[in-house]
Amino acid sequence: MNRILLLLVVALLCHTFISNAQVITIESARALPAGSFVTVRGIVTNGLELGKIRYLQDATAGIAAYPGSGSMPGFESNVLLGDSIEVSGTTTNFQGLLEITPITSYTVISSGNAVPAPQPVSITDLSNDLEGKLVRLPCVTFDASGGSFNSSGSYPFTDTDGHTAEIYLRSNHPLLGLPIPENPVQLVAIVSDFFGYQLLPRFETDFQEAPCFYFSSNPDQSNIQTNGFTLYWSTNLNSTFKLRYGTSPDPNLEVTIPGSGISSSYTFSNLEPGRIYWAQVEATHNGEKIYSPIMPFATRSLSTGQIKVYFNHPINESVAGGLIPDGQSATAAVNETIARINSAQQTIDVAMYNNSRSDITNALIAAVNRGVQVRYVAAEETENYALEQQINFPVVYGNTYALMHNKFMIIDADLSAQAWLMGGSMNWTNVNIQNDYNNTLFIQDQSIARGYRIEFEEMWGSSNATPDLVNSRFGSEKRNNTPHRYIIGDIPVESWFSPSDQTTSHITEALETADSEILFGLLTFTKNDQADAIIDRFLAGASVRGLIENTGDVGSEFGYLTGYGMDVQRHVFPGTMHHKYGIIDANDPASEPVLVTGSHNWTFAAETENDENTLVIHDANLALLYKAEFEQRWQENITDIPTVSQAPAVTLAPNPVSDAICLKHEDIGIIRVIDVWGRRLIEQQAANTGNTQLDVKFLPAGNYFVLFQTDHGYTRLSFQKM
């Protein structure tokens, strides 16, 4: 009775504050910029067990309300689990968690309401969309099972797919002192955030030790045709199944799968070519229902499937089996890029790490002038000189905490005969195009163009011409929401994006198929997963050779691989080995040759933080073309010839030197200073002929080399630092 009277008083006090407030959905409140004043209603999903904070949900989303400094008093004692409340205040981002604080006003509308049913999710589903909501994860095992929750802090757990997350218990939590479940449990918890997602259980009953029921394999795709494909999946227990599908992420068509079992499949036969369909499987066992993720799948398109390959430096054609790439020079790669832009009729979407090329940018400007919609995503923390000129298309700069490292472009995704995707490793900069070693692919296929468009629009934040910065996602906020399997022409192609798609595991899977040979050319290599796979195949008899540019990076796999006797070399030839490719069994057609390429360096940052894209292409001809590229770089790297092609005329003085060295040259190019180990210490552009001065006073005394590279060749000169 006392609580009821108190709530009535509070309600009367609050009435003047909230009567004129406009109530919006929690989803709408979450979409507003932090610092917005909002009024929302919802059911409270926790009580004092989580301290002062309260999480509330409506039919659209969840959010936290925290009675911080300046809040109306009494919130934590008057607002309890199951209350329906209205709360007004300012949204604030606290260490990743969006919460309403300070709370200007609140009222308890009713009490004892049913708490929203936990939403079934998997660890990989955790995202801002789920923040503040009550969820249920099937069949998780605590790493410290059999122990006790003996102190406040984090307790990690693992699901049946090997994915990990953690729960967090605050001080005085009612679970402290209780045993950690020994057996797998269904975990019910609230999704929170503190520099990363945390799951907040409330009571002992949030650990449900029921028999685990889960998808042992989520829906996957095979038999891809223009009018359909086959989906197959399995559960760990005998089940009946329903399949929902449609052309949007909210599938509304339903099929009941006949019979029951632990595995099943369904073949679509009435779909449209070049389209993306979303599907979800519902499985039922003894009345309990579980749901697979809603996943997108693509039909085969009516496009030509042509794949054009460009390298910005010549390859070794003698090992290409008569194959010739579409271009072997920087000029050819740039000309094709501009030609694709000039051919666009409706849309161009660009995601490019950096851009200093006015010729490519001017082509985009001209496209807008002839009526083409151009949308552009760039990296926030890098140089984009070409975008600093007056441009007529919008640009979103993204990934504040890591790199928007993509290098892709989508042309006319809605036109079957015009749709092109550009991918590969090449940035639109003078140095990356002219001097460094890169590859670029152009793929004429509507299905993969539309798949990449989903990824682009996740960063763009909308599906129209205007970006929505509130909804745009970069880095770890992104979701696994694109198709992964395509048939392009007759070639099976896998597409993976980082950090949402566990790209490292798919690169590793490709390496593990090697029977006879693995070749790789990488800017940097610090990820154990790929290194372990390479070592495993090497010990099984496969030949391994590799070129790595940055062998001094923290955690480099260079020493690990060479320690097994593999022929892996530091790339020391002038120009940066900027590729990110792996080539498997290129000369062994009986062993399904595979090419891996894209923007993804084999590193922890690429896997977990950066925005990246990777293609795994199951084709002997493309693997052989890339092998020819590798063999040319390999041959150049091991030669002792100090000059190649038409060596530019360069002199340097003084030598020996103490502070500054002057280079006289008759051409523009790139100047690099390296030590005797091949480590790059200085790099700068020699933009004009004449003299260029290098400051070397910071170098320790010793012997060094100056490398001067132009379009015509390069010269290497030694000097001594006093």
> Of 280, 300, 297, nearest to 233 (Cα)?
280
Nearest to 648 by CA among 632, 662, 672, 668: 668
CA angle (349 as vertex; 343, 352 as ends), nearest 5: 110
Per-residue pLDDT tens over the stretch 456-468:
999 999 999 999 9
Q: Which residue has the tokens 């590729």?
A: 579
Residues 96 and 194 sit within 8 Å (Cβ to Cβ): yes
pTM value is: 0.76
Fold category of 215-298 in CATH: Immunoglobulin-like (2.60.40)
- Measure the CA–CA gap between 173 and 76, rounded to whole angstroms: 15
Name the pLDDT band for 5 (thresholds 50, 70, 90). Answer: very low
Angle CA(132)–CA(498)–CA(29) in degrees, nearest 5?
Answer: 25
Name the packing angle between helices 528-539 and 503-511 (round to 10°). Answer: 10
Is the pLDDT confidence value at 11 over 50? no
Q: Do domains 491-638 and 644-721 have the same CATH topology?
A: no
Third-level CATH fold of 2-110: OB fold (Dihydrolipoamide Acetyltransferase, E2P) (2.40.50)
Q: Does domain 644-721 have CATH number 2.60.40.1930?
A: yes
* CATH superfamily of domain region 119-208: Nucleic acid-binding proteins (2.40.50.140)
**Cis bond before residue 648 (omega within 30° of 0):** no
Q: What is the fold of 491-638?
A: Endonuclease; Chain A (3.30.870)
Q: List, for residues 392-444, the tens digit of each pLDDT value.
A: 999 999 998 899 999 999 999 999 999 999 999 999 999 999 999 999 999 99
307-479: CATH number: 3.30.870.10
* pLDDT tens string 565-576: 899 999 999 999
36-88 pLDDT, tens digit per residue, is 999 999 999 999 999 999 999 999 999 999 999 999 999 999 999 999 999 99
pLDDT at 249 over 70: yes
Q: Where are the domains of the chain?
A: 2-110, 119-208, 215-298, 307-479, 491-638, 644-721
